[in-house]
Structure 1
Amino acid sequence: MNDARTGGPGRPVPAHDSLRDQVAKALRAALMAGELRPGTVYSAPALAAEYGVSATPVREAMLDLAREGLVETVRNKGFRVTEATERDLDDFTEVRALIEVPTVGRIAREADPGRLEELRPVAEETAAAARAGDLAAFLDADHRFHLGLLALAGNPRLVDTVADLRRRSRLHGLGGFGGTRVLVESAREHGELLDLILAGDADAAEACTRRHLARVRSLWAARRHPERTPAG
């Protein structure tokens, strides 16, 4: 990237990452903010000029995003930003529920309370970001909370699977929803879920997880159909 190590205007990226990783992170952030639009084809040279790098790391980063299903290659032109269909989002939510609901129940029955409490600051960080309307910080903390919680089940492949589902369903164009009541309510449920798990109430924790996933799905419905924005 440039000397300031920014991923596009105002987007800091870790200096210790490879240039390819820096660009990939910057592009994911642009997707999340809606700066890269679904259906639009972007060339590597044009993006390279915007980010102040050569075209090679941009092509490499875009190939990484293509493997994640976030873009697709367009021969002799560049990369087209993909967008999950309503059916895709329903399917992602269903698979997440099949994995996460029983896993949360098992964690409530078996996990060490001390390790669970380590997630409390992350839950509070998510809530603070939601109140501030900082979507990037919200999604980062939300990601760390959920995957950190699932990691307590001791199955890294399960965590990787959920991470992939989240990546495919959560990034594109959510920037218009920072600070809305639905984000604040979603963040509040993190603390509620943590309390239920610590209390050992597996049934209630599973029910909370189902509601939480349904809220995430409603956030997507609101993005696509603003007239359906949930009251929170």
Structure 2
Amino acid sequence: MRILLVEDNQQIARSLTEVLVKHNYTVDLAMDGKIGWQYIEGLTYDLILLDLMLPKIDGITLCRQLRSIGITTPVLMLTAKDTSMDRVLGLDVGADDYVVKPFDLPELFARIRALLRRGNIGASPLLAWEHLELDPSNEIVRYQGNILKLTSKEYAILELLLRTGNRTLSRSAIIDRLWTMDNLPQEDAIKFHVKELRKKLKLAGAPVDLIETVYGLGYRLKPI
């Protein structure tokens, strides 16, 4: 899942980016509202973490701006201002949730997971495909009850495939969703990660073609 973090406090930005990456999120960091807007115009995000007080373009203006052009990406406001008026203003311009600094990390991640699920109201937090299950809340993957030990990129690719269903994902689409702009891999790297992922799935009892190669197009989960 790809997250845009717009935060001008270097210490908060650095520490929050590190912990998000450890939880298998792909994170682009913008240190002011103008750069944040440039990212939003050029890329697709699953979630935007948006500081309220930002240089160049503040969080309220940025949120209002993206909603005015029809961008529906969930927005979680991060701010040190804990007043009712500030919360109401943030929600009124289109923010989906509001967390006050200093925030509790378990609560923040619970709110992140809730917003990422919101697009599918009533859905189980588990992502499942036949005997394969991925639990985003504790980052555990099982096949027929067997736990798979995956690298962060293997986990991210599998989660993306599960969220996509039986639609085909090209290698370039996987790169766009799971790598940051300053760390783009060659497409052969995707082939390597998928190959290793297939090996681990097979060891857990999955069929070798659970992840199908659609030649000339990309990858998908084998239709049930």
TM-score for the superposition, normalised by structure 1: 0.25
TM-score for the superposition, normalised by structure 2: 0.26
Q: Which has the higher strand share?
A: 2
